[in-house]
Amino acid sequence: QSALDADGPSALAIENLIFLFLAVCGVAFVLVMGVMTWALVRGRNEPAGRPQTERSMGRVVAGAVVATFLVITFLTAASFYATPSLDRGKADPPTILVRGQQWWWQFSYLDADPAKTFQTANELHIPVGTDVRLRLEASDVIHSFWVPNLTGKQDLVPGRENVLTLNAAKPGVYRGQCAEFCGLQHSHMALLVIAEEPADYARWLDVQRGLATAPTDGEAAAGKLVFMSKPCAACHTIRGTEAVGTTGPDLTHIGSRSTIGAGLLDNTRGSISAWIADPQTLKPGNNMPLVPVTSEELRQLSAYMKGLQ
């Protein structure tokens, strides 16, 4: 998660721009400081305020102002030159809808065929080397989608629709984080972008489009019953079951995600249990309440969750 470790064409263009600015401004700084030091330490022979000194200083100051003008003109031009890299693939329609929520990310993979659209959360898979267009929306307050290694950030503003292009040059896992203060758990609103070779990506799409796998062992099956009978189902969707809540993340394939709670914890059975047992301690103030369950039920739930591959 760094702006100086670019892995996409857009981030690369910005990285180059950053280095250019640092270099030019560094030189300006050194020059100004050099003159200042010289002025402070130089010995003086003439009295201050002689007319010819005033005149020549006037000329130097004017020259420096002109130089400043030229430098900023150059920097402005460089900035303009790099701007189009932010809006790559402008013509393509967005294929993924990103909804920022307090404090997690909802991703809807759009498809002309409604049967092929599906939702997932906090983990965005994209194919490498292609421009992927994201439609950015917010359902409550302003958030900002930022994966620094791939491109600059873009806000998600309620009532407005923004668009952002992602392009990963090579496969990898890129961390990103909400960059606009959005309340209590703004700090814990991370996401992962997983860039895959097109074939892997296609496989992933296939799995995600599928309905939830039925539990295979007794413990997980019991967990499913618990899930459906507790308030869980009122907030979460598990496609292929009667759980169709929309307040929380879609859990259809939760078992396949690498983290839970918007990058809070690694996705293991233990952490799922811990999360369900007490989400408010792990991520104070988040919108999932503590639902009382017995430790038996907790084990079953986590088995069920982890099995939803």
Three-state SS at 255: helix
Residue 167 is classified by DSSP as -
Find which of other proteins, ligand HEA, ligand HEC, none residue 260 binds, CB within 5 to 8 Å per kind: ligand HEC
Question: Segment 238-257, which members bind ligand HEC (CB under 6 A)?
Answer: 247-249, 251, 254, 257
Angle at 136 between CA 148 and CA 263, to 5 degrees: 50
Q: At closest approach, how far in Å is the CB of 121 from ligand HEC?
A: 4
Hey, what amino acid is at 269?
Answer: R
- Output the CA torsion 106→107→108→110 (10° steps): 160
Q: Which of residues 91-130 bind ligand HEC (CB under 6 A)?
A: 103-104, 121-122
- Residue 262 Cβ, how far from ligand CUA at the closest point, in Å? 9
Report yes or no: 235 and 249 within 8 Å, Cβ to Cβ: no
Q: What's phi and psi for 87, nearest 5 deg?
A: -115, 45
CB-based contacts of 71, cutoff 8 Å, min separation 6 = 24, 28
What does DSSP assign to residue 211?
Answer: P
Report how far residue 135's alpha carbon sits from residue 175's, in angstroms, rounded to the nearest whole number. Answer: 19
Among 72, 173, 202, 207, the residue binding ligand HEA under the rule CB under 6 A is 72
Site map (CB under 6 A) of ligand CUA, residues 162-191, x = contact: ----------------x-xxx---x--x--
- CA 175 to centroid of chain Cα atoms: 7
**Can you tell me which of 2, 53, 68, 79 binds ligand HEA, judged by CB under 6 A?**
68
**Contact of residue 104 among ligand HEC, other proteins, ligand CUA, none (CB under 5-8 Å per partner type):** ligand HEC
Q: Which stretch binds ligand HEC (CB under 6 A): 26-34, 140-148, 152-160, 280-288?
A: 280-288
Residues that bind ligand HEC (CB under 6 A): 103-104, 121-122, 227, 230-232, 234-236, 247-249, 251, 254, 257, 260-262, 272, 275-276, 283, 286-289, 291, 293, 301, 305
